Amino acid sequence: MFRNQYDTDVTTWSPAGRLFQVEYAMEAVKQGSAAIGLRSKTHVVLGCVNKANSELSSHQKKIFKVDDHIGVAIAGLTADGRVLSRYMRNECINYSFTYESPLPVGRLVVQLADKAQVCTQRSWKRPYGVGLLVAGLDESGAHLYYNCPSGNYFEYQAFAIGSRSQAAKTYLERRFESFRDASRDDLVKDALMAIRETLQGETLKSLVCTVAVVGVGEPFHILDQGTVQQMIDAFEIVAEQEGPAAEPDTEAGQEASAEPEPEQGAAAGEGVAPMDI
């Protein structure tokens, strides 16, 4: 995208009918580190890549619990994400207090989208620079939504946002048909695989990623590092060619080819490009 004379404020249309400030806000989401989400009929899993700036610092918190039945993963300006999470938590808690019942995630998402839309139509505001993957349960089952700075929202079976999310999306597109009836553990494994795709050759360790789950009978919670590392170890043994035409993969067990993983420990030199499979 290049600068032009219609991009100074959000209340100026371009002759082609575009709001550039809103589109720039969506660019900010693409620059953030990756976040992915996928769902089955009964569970939703969120995952994100957590890179700390330096060895000295801790990493950014990108997954937030909003209520027992709703959680959100963000990509983009994390400060904006934090503020929106606070809004979501507030809405949930107020609804719970009045009705003693959990706020249906579909309604929360619409409220969030309306809030984002306001910022696209006021000259003294700017759009939120954060994309949100909202995972939640309501009467009709498990849901995953994506909320955009533009004020749009979409429901997804699986989605990825942030930098290098295309790699994850490609992986998810190949596998999404199996998600609906997948077990909770398979879903988490798929999430880890998708996260790995965005790392592009880097080793997948529980230190660089965060995974959270919500499901029927399972309140939203972030999995602890130990559990995540265990799951990584469990499937890293399986060779890289799960995927293409063959849809074997009900992982756990299918050690198709027990080749020692070249990735493990070796540097980028191997030239493995996971997304090309």
Partner 1 sequence: MNFTASKQPENCLLGPESDSQRTLYPYVTGTSVVALKYKDGILMAADMGGSYGSTLRYKSVERMKPIGKHSLLGASGEISDFQEILKYLDELILYDNMWDDGNSLGPKEVHNYLTRVMYNRRNKFNPLWNSLVLGGVKKGEKYLGTVSMIGVNFEDNHVATGFGNHLARPILRQEWHENLSFEDGVKLLEKCMRVLLYRDRSAINKLQIAKITEEGMTISPPYSLKTYWEFAAFENPTQGAVGSW
Site residues, partner 1 (CB under 8 A) = 97-101, 104, 106-107, 110, 138-140
**Contacts of residue 156, Cβ cutoff 8 Å, sequence gap at least 6:** 37, 39, 144, 145, 146
**Strand locations in the chain, DSSP E?**
35-39, 43-49, 63-67, 70-76, 130-138, 141-147, 153-155, 158-161, 209-215, 218-222
Nearer to partner 1 (CB atom), residue 69 or residue 189 = 69
Structure tokens at 85: 């999470």
Structure tokens at 108: 């929360």
Give whole-number Cα distances, 217 to 42, 142, 213, in Å. 9, 12, 11
Nearer to partner 1 (CB atom), residue 58 or residue 98 = 98
Q: Which residue has the tokens 């993963």?
A: 73
Cβ of residue 140: shortest distance to partner 1, in angstroms? 5
Cβ of residue 103: shortest distance to partner 1, in angstroms? 9
Nearer to partner 1 (CB atom), residue 2 or residue 97 = 97
Nearer to partner 1 (CB atom), residue 39 or residue 62 = 39
Residues making up the chain, counted from first to last: 277
Cβ of residue 101: shortest distance to partner 1, in angstroms? 5
Distance CA 165, CA 184 (A): 23
Give whole-number Cα distances, 188 to 15, 39, 242, in Å. 46, 10, 16
Cβ of residue 97: shortest distance to partner 1, in angstroms? 8
Cβ of residue 216: shortest distance to partner 1, in angstroms? 14
Nearer to partner 1 (CB atom), residue 4 or residue 94 = 94
Nearer to partner 1 (CB atom), residue 91 or residue 242 = 91
Cβ of residue 110: shortest distance to partner 1, in angstroms? 8
Nearer to partner 1 (CB atom), residue 108 or residue 161 = 108
Please state the separation of Cα 126 from the chain's center in Å.
23
Cβ of residue 30: shortest distance to partner 1, in angstroms? 30
The DSSP string of 102-163 is PPPHHHHHHHHHHHHHHTTS-TT-----EEEEEEEEETTEEEEEEE-TTS-EEE-SEEEEST
